[in-house]
Each structure stands twice: as structure tokens, then as C-alpha cells.
Chain A
Amino acid sequence: MACVADLLRVEHLTVAPAANPQRLLVKDVSFALAAGRTTCIVGESGSGKSLTALSVMGLLPPALQRFSGNIIFQGNSITGFSNAQMCDVRGKRIGMIFQEPMTSLNPVLTVGYQIGEPLVAHLGLSGKVLQTRIAELLERVGIPPERAGSYPDELSGGQRQRVMIAMSIACEPAMLIADEPTTALDVTVQAQILALLAELKSRMNMGMLFITHDFGVVADIADDVLVMFRGEIVESGSVTDVLSSPQHPYTRALLDCVPDIEGKKPLKPIDYSWLNEAVV
């Protein structure tokens, strides 16, 4: 049952390698995301957080397969969409930002051209209208519009990520998926990019699905949190609840690993053998 208020609803999503359906990489994952809200998926490498996001966009690697589950976006089930239909969703109604701004941008095309690509492909803009829109987008992400003629290598890491953000919001998508967008950046730049994303989210009333392994980033940007462990959501709730009174043993263990700024809390690595017993 799709609730109209939800922008995105993922129901019982299961992903496994096509060759080995027993090895579940994402197990029965369900969650919902409303417009104007940010949901963070947090977990360690291999927890299935990126695969969950890729499934939503229909971009799973060919060796992996979605074995069950339904993904409902703006009231429509997009799981049955053809590739052509998905192309209309991706980049237009769902924007995407990835971790590494250098590898996600084409080094031989100017950033202005690359920001214009989705505008040409999805909205058919051209000429002066296109140039004006590119300048507007650059300005909105805090880059002087004159830089439209620059190539990616002429920009700093933070500026490249701003270009990626400009591309992803070019068609004013209803939802933004950000997969570790600040992991490769310096802390001060990270803080700027997080502030920019939060501002754009509220101004454009986007729903944001934000993937990270950093609880500090979660604290800064999330409204709701999903904690994933070995392909399953082990805990979900509002950011205050999850961070201040975590219920699941894995969430507690993961939070105990995070060094605090006061340096008072002793670091406690996860004892997986204990966790296995606690979870079962």
C-alpha cells in the first residue's frame, strides 16, 4: 500500500548475486522517505547501504539481481519500469551525487557543459536559456558563473563536488540520492558541502537519501536514520532517538567506536563474537 505522503517507499527489498541467490546482500529492507526530509543510511563497508541506493535508481551491477521487493516513487512502482522509463526518472526526478568528484566528472568537458547535459537531455533546453540556467545553477552552489568554461582539473575537490551537486539538482528533482558525498573532502569543505545540501533540500523541498559511514555527518544532516548491518536494517528512527538512545546492540557498538571530540570516552572496537550472540 503506497502512502501518498511518501515520496519514496521501499518495500521488502532483497538483493543477491544472480549466480548465488542464497547469499543475500540486502535482506528484506523497507523504509519510506518524505519530501523535505533527509534519511541517512549508515553502516560499515559491505553492510548493503550503497546497494540499497543503487537498487532505488535501478543501477545495480549486472552480476547482482533484485530478487524481491517493490520500490514506489511518487506513487508509482518503478520496479517494473523499462530502461527507457528509468532514464526519465534518473537525473530528472531523482538526482544523484557520488563520493569521488574527480572520477564522476568527465575531464575533457567543461563543467558548464556537464551541468548542461541533463538540461538538454531531459528538458530540451538550448541556446541562451540553457546558458542562463547553467549560470544560475553554478551561482546556487556557490561557484562564480564565469567558471562554466573551466575543466574539472582546474577546480578544487570541494568545487568539483559543488559542480556534481549543480548537475544533480539541474532538473529540480523531487529526490536526491547522495552516496558518501563528503568522504573524500577536507573537514572544513565537508562542513560547507553539508550546509549547502541542507539548504538546497529545504529550499527545493527535496527528499534526500544520504549514505554515510560517519555518525558525525549523520548528526549534522539527518532527520531520520537507518542503521544497516550485514544487509539488514537493524534500527531505524529519528536522529535524536538513534544517536542518544540506540536500541540495537549493533548500533550501540558502532557508536562506541566513534572517537568523541572531548576524548573522554574510551574507544571500544566491536566484539563481533559477542554481537553474533546478542543479535541471535
Chain B
Amino acid sequence: MSDIILSGKGLIKTYRQRSGKFGFGATIIKALDDVSISVRQGDTLAVVGESGSGKSTLARCLLQLQPLDAGEVLFEGRDLAALSGKELRAVRRDLQMVFQDPFASLNPRMKVGDIVGEGLVIHGLGDVQERRTKVMHMLERVGLAASDMGKYPHEFSGGQRQRIGIARALVLQPKLVVCDEPVSALDVSIQAQILLLLKELQREMGLSYLFISHDLRVIRHVADEVVVMHRGRVVEQGAVEDLYANPREEYTQNLLNSIPGRHRQAA
């Protein structure tokens, strides 16, 4: 059994939402309601759920991008909430994120080389020449050209932009990458390319992934373990084969039965 690299215990996050006439009332929404998860070193933990299930909130809270109401997040045994701002920034090098929308997550006024290299600058890694070489290697590694450094994001297609986002996350050689719906905005052929790239990089760099998706077909391919979320709670979790073959909870069964094309493939 491999080691746990990241774990969350008893995570609670609530939002207040104005409601009623003129917004005078308030409803408490439990985005995370006592959620516990753990990611093993070198594995992919997938979190699946429908919109509003709390899966993106979970990702953001684990990375301390949003404060939790209660609960504890341990990364390599250290409680992230207890770290000072400076210590947390240092840890962030090991915790990177790939976002869903390759159009919104890249600064349109920055050149690709600067986007990918920004993390190196922030963390003070290497001199100008070393950074340049690292960025070039990373771009080539994700299937772009070194000459793309001088271009702007709008010159690239959606799939290429997602490669830029991956290069930006991986140039820091992180230990854990949170992928929040990294392929949902892409065509199915591009989706396959990106999924394979993520898998290759995981093997090469020994990465652990927390992979968030609403697409059960994608999850079947990338995950080692799966957590099913519904209304802020973990409904069911387990190894991917078990969960798909023998879903115990009615909600999971319902989700799996809703996969388009399932009935024809089964026939």
C-alpha cells in the first residue's frame, strides 16, 4: 500500500445565500458536509459529481484557496491551515492546479513563455537562462514547440491552450496536481490526447492527481480510486473497477445508468 500524500478529514464549508423577498432571508448551503478523502502517492483520485455537488469547492479548499469552516488538510503530514503565509507559498510549489477553461485561465496579455515561467520567478528558481531552458523543455514535453514561447494565448487552439496550462503547472515539478475538469471544454479527439498526456506525465514525474470531473467515462480511464459526491457529501468511494462494477448506493447506480450510450454498449 502506497503512502497518503494529501488527505482531508471532516471538511466542512458552508455558504450563506441571500434568499426570500429582496434577499432579506438567508439560506445556509452546505458545500462540504463532513467530507474526508485521501490521495495516495502516485495515484489518481477522481472526484465525480453533478453541478452543485461541492467537487470544485473541495478542490479549492484542499489547496487553501478558500478557507474551510472546519476540518484538517494534511499534505505530506503537515497541516496546511496551520502554516504561515510564507510557508504556505513554499508548499504551493508542490501543489499545482490545471483548470477547466483553457480560454479563461491564461492571461491574454502575457506571452506563453512568461505564463509558463511565472511560477519559476515567484519561487525564485534558477537564473534567467535556466528558467528559459526549463520552460522550453516543458513546452516541448507537453507537445508544443520551444518557439511558441514568444506567442500569445489567442494564437493557440483550445487543446494547445490546455497544454500550456499543463506546462505551467508542471514546470515547478509539483508532487500533486489538482485537475479541475481539464478536458470538459475539449473535443473528444483532443480530450483523448490530453488524457494520455496527463497519464504519461504522471508516470514520468511520479505525480499524484486529484482529478475532478462530471464525466464518468473519462474518470473510468484516469482514476485509480473514485469519490462520488452529492450535495456536499461523499456518497460512495472505492477502487474504480469495484465502484463501476458494483455500485452500492442508489445515487451512484443512477449516475452510472445515465452515462449516454451505456445501454447500447452493454448490449
Contact = CB atoms under 8 A, between A and B. Distances in A.
Nearest to A184: B51
Interface of B: 50-51, 187-193, 195-196, 214-218, 220-221, 240-241, 244, 254-265
A186 B192 CA distance: 21
Given A259-B220, A269-B196, A216 B191 contact: no
Interface centre among B51, B214, B254, B261 (most CB of A within 10 A): B261
A219 B262 CA distance: 8
B131 to A, nearest CB: 30
A125 interface: no
Given A44-B188, A257-B188, A267-B192, A188 B50 contact: yes
A219 B221 contact: no
A263 interface: yes
Interface residues of A, number: 33
A191 B220 CA distance: 19
Contacts of B256: 261
Contacts of A269: 189-190, 192-193, 196
A215 interface: yes
A-B pairs, 8 with minimum CB distance: A216-B261, A216-B260, A219-B261, A186-B50, A191-B258, A257-B192, A219-B264, A269-B193
Contact of A258 (B50, B217, B241): B217
Given A187-B216, A216-B261, A269-B193, A261 B244 contact: yes
Interface in A196-220: 213-220
B85 to A, nearest CB: 37
Contact of A267 (B195, B215, B255, B257): B195
Contacts of B258: 187-188, 190-191
A259 B50 CA distance: 19
Contacts of B218: 259
A102 interface: no
A214 B186 CA distance: 11
A45 interface: yes
B193 to A, nearest CB: 4
Contacts of A157: 51
Nearest to A272: B189
A268 interface: yes
Contacts of B257: 191
B240 A263 contact: yes
A263 B244 contact: yes
B75 to A, nearest CB: 29
Contact of B265 (A254, A261, A268): A261
5 contacts: A215-B188, A256-B192, A261-B244, A263-B221, A270-B189
A279 to B, nearest CB: 15
A260 interface: yes
Nearest to B257: A191
A146 interface: no
B51 A216 contact: no
B192 A187 contact: no
A227 to B, nearest CB: 12
Given A188-B255, A220-B260, A269-B189, 17 more contacts: A187-B50, A187-B214, A187-B215, A187-B258, A213-B188, A214-B260, A214-B261, A216-B262, A219-B265, A259-B195, A260-B217, A261-B217, A261-B244, A261-B265, A267-B195, A269-B192, A269-B196
A190 B214 CA distance: 12
